Structure 1
Amino acid sequence: MSRKIRVGLIYGGKSGEHDVSLQTALAVMKAVDFTKYEITPFYITKKGEWKSGSPLLAPAESKEALTFSSAADAAAPVSNALAPIFGAVQAKGDITVSAVSNETADTGLDVVLPLLHGTFGEDGTIQGMLEMANIAYVGAGVLASAVGMDKVMMKKVFAQEGLPQCIFRHFTRTEWEKNRAYHLVELETAIGYPCFVKPANLGSSVGISKARNQQELIEAVNFAFQYDRKVIIEENIEAREIEVAVLGNDEPIASVAGEIVSSNEFYDYKAKYLDGKSAMVIPADIPPETSDLIRQLALQAFLAVDGSGLSRVDFFLGKTDQKVYINEINTMPGFTPFSMYPLLWEESGKSYTELLDDLIKLALERHKAKQGIQYSFDVE
């Protein structure tokens, strides 16, 4: 007799994308097949405290319920919240999507779905913890997560891979404070105005500004430093924003391409999540050969960072020269039913629920394969 696959949903977190994570968790709970999966919620507060609840029989009714803020949603003590995850170290037997034997039962989890966006979530930190716990998890591993989160390292990897990019510069807070005049001259010479200033390690367009002159540039850099110790400055390209969803492990596949038509001057946090006026055009109205090229580059970028599970790869398409530039790879993209990633797959013929099934299957397959790796040897 088979049992349900035990899935831990981890959401919330200390990053500026805490509320986005709650939206994602609620959407996943409402879409997941409770006849296949036993769902255990793990909430991380904005202060970094862990809380866990009992396995769910049905989706949570609201974002407030996800935070265990009422007596009816009582959570396990913080000191006990991680026990189900690290209990997986003692797990025995193989777990498959098709069947789970009672003989492999234990008190841990079979797979974790980390629905954390931004710092401490998609940057490799929680992935490292799950690696130490020897538990399967959905999405990119430690290396791909860290590279995908750090825009500077990501662009260096893309450059090594020969992927086309816009001009960029970067520096740390210490470098900026010690030699601001030099960096201003370098930026104005190499990039000019307008330009975009971003924290190197953050998602959902948090902390991004468009600078049109030196004063705005200084203000934008100081603003970005509120969110990270390192910033990146990129040239402005008059372009359309094209995105592709990637799914898989060593042999990934790419979705159709979609276009973001922002309600704001650029696609910032407000345009993404607050005003509800930005439009998604799926599939993007671009020539087939351009779509094929972008999809090919998306797969190349995914493999370049050693991606796994899922990623969304974002591009610029020049409005005048039709040149394609890769912007970034997002290893844990927005995942509500109204987010670009699942919508791209829906247009490609894969429903939201099917997508969740695929991601869990990919996580279990990757974990099983890693169990055959030998990490030590006997010198005698």
Structure 2
Amino acid sequence: MKKKVAILFGGNSTEHQVSLQSVKSIVHSIDKRKYDVVLIGVDKEGKWYLYDNLDSCIKNSHDPNSIELVKSDKRIALIPGNHIYPFIELPSGKVLGKIDVIFPLLHGGRGEDGSMQGLFRITNMPFVGSSVLASAICMDKDFTKRILLHAGLKVANYTTFTKNEENNIHFKKIKKQLGLPVFIKPANQGSSVGVSKVESEDEFHLGIEAAFSYDNKIIVEEAIDGREIECAVLGNNYPISSLPGEVMTNSSFYSYEAKYIDEKDSQLIVPAVLEDTVVKKMKLTAIKAFEAIQCEGLARIDFFLTKDNDLIINEINTLPGFTKQSMYPKLWEASGRCYKDLIDDLIRLAIERGASRHSV
């Protein structure tokens, strides 16, 4: 009997368009013999809509700059509690039917920061990806680094500031502490949104202002001279790691535009050209990081690899981009798992975890 998978996409975060690109790939590739798909789109105001098919919910689908969610005349609501029928249509009030698993593709804030995961937990619905705690931690770059350091893993030197400390941020002190250049980042954003690489005092002040426009807490971080390498991790209690892949960019860093808009600005080398000993060390470190933060289902671990083969963890993404061109699926394809099988693995892991939680 087919499983019914509700795919949530869009969202009211800065990564709305990334999510729309991800859902296209999944709907086209998911095994239709095993799964029936329910499409639920979330607009930039946070309203939920129900769609009959992919063509009815996305326009300008071939242009990442202008891809857009089309609002449906069918709204949808979620009912908290122990329900096997958690969704109802509005305004009809019709029960949507049994949902076996939720596949969230809500990248960024309010999608992978624990907010949506908490909502899923309230409904007792199985869902793909990490639960509330790991999702919230990995969205906050400051707390991610604290836990990784506690686990004995290496991160870049950094300092944090909250909005009420803005007057205490001094360029000369930062320069002495971290050197130049430095990266300035919102603490709670993904996909390099609001990130600046700065080398002068003027750029520094502009970077601080830009980061605070996205979050009330920011990170100022030393620049690491190293290759940008990423690993994909898959699993619940016994996670496994993919082969590593390398990001090479023509820009000063791997920006949002390089990731999703201007494909010519970056190149993904999958698998990365590395010595076997480095590959083994990186895969083990990726799993250790995944387990330290108690991630589940999937995550992409982003590293800097220095000339001395030191591994510096940059960040952990618990709901990485999921187009066929995205790094996470490409890493697994290079490791022997095709895109369709990877979707199947993630749904299976979500259902298994959901069943184990009901048993305790």
- Do these two structures clear the TM 0.5 threshold for a shared fold by scoring above it? yes
- Could you tell me whether the CA contact under 8 Å between 1:87 and 1:107 is conserved in 2? no
2:18 maps to: 20
- Could you tell me whether the CA contact under 8 Å between 1:88 and 1:108 is conserved in 2? no
1:370 maps to: 357
2:58 maps to: 63
1:62 Cα shift? 7.2
Alpha-carbon distance in structure 2 between the residues aligned to 1:125 and 1:305: 17
Alpha-carbon distance in structure 2 between the residues aligned to 1:116 and 1:305: 20
Alpha-carbon distance in structure 2 between the residues aligned to 1:122 and 1:5: 24
Alpha-carbon distance in structure 2 between the residues aligned to 1:235 and 1:317: 15
In the alignment, residue 36 of structure 1 is paired with which amino acid?
K
2:97 maps to: 107
State the secondary structure of the residue aligned to 1:82: strand
Map Cα deviations across residues 104-157 of structure 1 (whole Å, 9 max, x no partner).
Answer: x99231100000110001100000000001100000100010011100000000
- Could you tell me whether the CA contact under 8 Å between 1:280 and 1:340 is conserved in 2? yes
2:153 maps to: 163
1:165 Cα shift? 1.4
1:291 Cα shift? 1.0
The answer for unaligned runs of 5 or more in structure 1 is: 93-104, 374-380
Task: Please give the TM-score of this superposition, normalised by the length of structure 1.
Answer: 0.86
1:69 Cα shift? 2.8
1:207 Cα shift? 0.6
Q: Aligned in 2, Cα 1:65/1:220: closer, same or farther, shift over 3 Å?
A: closer
The answer for unaligned runs of 5 or more in structure 2 is: 62-67, 86-94
Q: Aligned in 2, Cα 1:90/1:321: closer, same or farther, shift over 3 Å?
A: closer
Over the residues paired in the alignment, what is the CA RMSD in angstroms?
A: 1.9
Higher Cα Rg, which structure = 1
- Could you tell me whether the CA contact under 8 Å between 2:234 and 2:241 is conserved in 1? yes
State the secondary structure of the residue aligned to 1:89: coil
In the alignment, residue 91 of structure 1 is paired with which amino acid?
I
1:39 maps to: 37
Return 340-349 or 208-217, whichever deviates more: 208-217
Which of 305, 313, 320 in structure 2 is aligned with 1:317?
305
Map Cα deviations across residues 280-316 of structure 1 (whole Å, 9 max, x no partner).
Answer: 1111111111111111110000001101000000000
Alpha-carbon distance in structure 2 between the residues aligned to 1:279 and 1:361: 31
1:47 Cα shift? 1.1
Alpha-carbon distance in structure 2 between the residues aligned to 1:350 and 1:156: 33
Task: Please give the TM-score of this superposition, normalised by the length of structure 2.
Answer: 0.91
2:124 maps to: 134
- Could you tell me whether the CA contact under 8 Å between 2:43 and 2:69 is conserved in 1? no
- Could you tell me whether the CA contact under 8 Å between 1:310 and 1:331 is conserved in 2? yes
1:90 Cα shift? 2.5
- Could you tell me whether the CA contact under 8 Å between 1:91 and 1:106 is conserved in 2? no
Which of 169, 172, 177 in structure 2 is aligned with 1:180?
169
Percentage of pairs with the same residue: 40
1:121 maps to: 111
